[in-house]
Every structure is written in C-alpha cells, then in structure tokens.
Structure 1
C-alpha cells in the first residue's frame, strides 16, 4: 500500500510521514529500507497506547461500518479488490471528512500540497 500510495503521487515523497503501530511488518528492516528508498519518514505509536494510532483505528472502524459489514464477499481476493476499489473510488475522492473541513481526502491533500509549495517558493525567494 505504501508503494501504491507513492506511485499514485508521482514517485518519491521526501518528508512524507507514515504513522503506524509497532506491528512486525512496520518494524522490519525491509520496511525501513523501503521507507528510506521512497523518502518516507516512519512514525510509530508508543507500545500499548491505542490513542497514538487513533486515526488508523477510526478509519478501520469506518470502513467496517460503511462498507465491509454491508457486503458479502465470495473470496478474500474479491474482498481485497472491492475494498480497494471502494477506498480509491469513493473514500479518497468523494467522502467528506469533518477533520478536513468537510473535504474529501484527495482534495484536502491537493490543497495542503499546493500551500506547501507556495510556502517553499516564498522561502526560497527570500
């Protein structure tokens, strides 16, 4: 998913922060190497602190309530495909979020990215 996210945003994402829990997949040397290669900074919650991962837990709850529990899937492969399609076709481009001022995630990210570029340009000009 990290490689997919990076690819859809045009490659290296220098300075992007990826926050996760301390699961073995995120603490592995291979994952750390991938993050370094992509320019992604790793951030991990403290051991035993569910609050450090509240945004991810909120997303997991939301996707279960709004999509997974409302559908039946014949196979795991079908479930993966349909869930990924829901995320990329609805959740990211269209679902509004109160934490993003009522904007969908893709729109919010675009606005933040543009604002950062303008800020960087002002700093370089000064």
Structure 2
C-alpha cells in the first residue's frame, strides 16, 4: 500500500465516499453549508460509526457487536 501505481491505494476511501454519496448526499439538497455539515456529522458519527452493519463484524452494528461480546465475558 502506498507505493506508486498501487491500484488499491485509495480503494477504501473511494468506497466510503461512494457509499456516503448514495446514502446521504444524493437524497436531498441543503440550503446552507451548516445544514450540510450537520448532516455529514450525523451520518458519520451516528449512522456510519454506530448503527450501520459492518461485514467485518458478522453483519452486526458496532453497538450490537459490543453488546453481544460483552455479555459473553465472565464477570
């Protein structure tokens, strides 16, 4: 990763921006930059990082994954 001409260098971020474009940006128009900034923050911090199901977590949201695994830990 990171070498000149590496075709996989930007794959992760390109995938993220494509998903954000479809799930957030293409769905409505914002009147001000503040509205867009707030919508972007909410998408990232509330939906993407907390509620969106992740393939690497067995198609669970991070909250569901933590709840499942913290319940299995011995007390």
Q: Deviations over 1:33-76 (max 9, x none)?
A: xxxxxxxxxxx723343412211111110010111110211122
Aligned residues: 68
C-alpha RMSD over aligned residues: 2.5
For structure 2, the residue ranges without an aligned partner over 5 or more in a row are 71-75
Which residue does 2:53 correspond to in 1? 96
Question: Unaligned 5+ residue runs, structure 1?
Answer: 1-43, 115-126
Calculate the TM-score normalised by the size of structure 1: 0.44
Q: CA deviation at 1:103?
A: 2.3
Length-normalised TM-score, structure 2 = 0.68
Is the strand fraction higher in 1 or 2? 1
The 4+ residue runs of structure 1 with deviation greater than 6 A are none
Greater RCO, 1 or 2 (C-alpha within 8 Å, sep 6+): 1
Q: Note the alpha carbon deviations across 1:66-90, whole angstroms, 9 max, x for none.
A: 1111021112222122111111111
